[in-house]
């Protein structure tokens, strides 16, 4: 196996050799082979973190320059070291909120398709539970998008970034949320929806209350 002290030789193992433009690039097929070698589930957070640590420019695509600089920054010399470095990064997210914020912000770029400037709400619903820390706000936001799928079609960058700040600050009783704080209007709608859900009894509770009255 080529070691990372010869990063280009290692890169070639996954590189797309059929490109007509001559660029040194790992494309999604090669990236998936790398993830398989690392033992990653493609629907887990590790592949996304790996892209970030290798300075990927888009989803599943790693250029030689980003590969070389990424390996050097991580101090990686082999596949085991790469696995350990990614694992350590994931493990540090809870204790290093600024690091997670940098990763979370970069993920938005990976979710853009082609020249689109916004990420589809459907894509956010699929990816957010994978890449975001499991807070009640993130879980409820996914439920909100699913409930409002007929009205919310896409998420812009400001909404994506503001959601992280909201997830770190919003109290369960919503008492510390103010529309005067200039949150994106989508998050105003989300908090209104949370309030409506809290005010509406669950079906089982409603049935029990009705039975008690009867």
**Cα 187 to chain center, whole Å?**
18
The pLDDT of 70-99, averaged and rounded, is 95
pLDDT of residue 198: 87
Domain 7-92 has CATH 1.10.238.10: yes
Is 7-92's fold the same as 113-199's? yes
Chain segment 107-141, per-residue pLDDT in tens: 999 999 888 889 999 999 999 999 998 889 999 99
State the Cα angle at 120 between 113 and 130, rounded to 5°: 90
Residue 105 has pLDDT above 90, yes or no: yes
Q: Could you identify the residue written with the tokens 């020249």?
A: 115
What are the residue boundaries of the structural domains of the chain, listed by start? 7-92, 113-199
At the top level of CATH, the class of 113-199 is mainly alpha
Q: Three-state secondary structure along 96-112?
A: CHHHHHHHHHHHHHHHC
Chain segment 30-70, per-residue pLDDT in tens: 999 999 999 999 999 999 999 999 999 899 999 999 999 99
Q: Could you identify the residue written with the tokens 């082999």?
A: 78
With a pLDDT cut of 90, the percent of the chain lying above it is: 77
Instruction: Report the distance separating Cα 76 and Cα 78, nearest Å.
Output: 6
């Amino acid at each position: 196996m080529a070691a990372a002290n010869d990063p280009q030789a290692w890169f070639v193992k996954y590189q797309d050799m059929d490109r007509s433009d001559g660029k040194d690039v790992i494309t999604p097929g090669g990236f998936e082979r790398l993830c398989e070698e690392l033992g990653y589930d493609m629907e887990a957070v590790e592949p996304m973190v790996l892209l970030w640590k290798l300075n990927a420019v888009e989803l599943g695509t790693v250029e030689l320059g980003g590969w070389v600089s990424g390996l050097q920054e991580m101090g990686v010399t082999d596949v085991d070291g790469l696995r350990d470095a990614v694992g350590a990064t994931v493990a540090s997210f809870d204790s290093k909120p600024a690091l997670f914020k940098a990763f979370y912000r970069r993920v938005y770029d990976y979710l853009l398709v082609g020249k689109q400037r916004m990420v589809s709400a459907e894509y956010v619903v699929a990816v957010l539970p994978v890449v975001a820390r499991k807070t009640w706000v993130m879980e409820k936001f996914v439920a909100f998008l699913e409930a409002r799928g007929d009205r919310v079609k896409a998420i812009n960058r400001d909404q994506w970034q503001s959601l992280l700040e909201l997830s770190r600050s919003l109290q369960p009783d919503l008492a510390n949320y103010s529309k005067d704080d200039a949150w994106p209007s989508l998050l105003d709608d989300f908090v209104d929806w949370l309030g409506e859900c809290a005010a509406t009894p669950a079906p089982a509770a409603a049935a029990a209350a009705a039975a008690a009255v009867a």
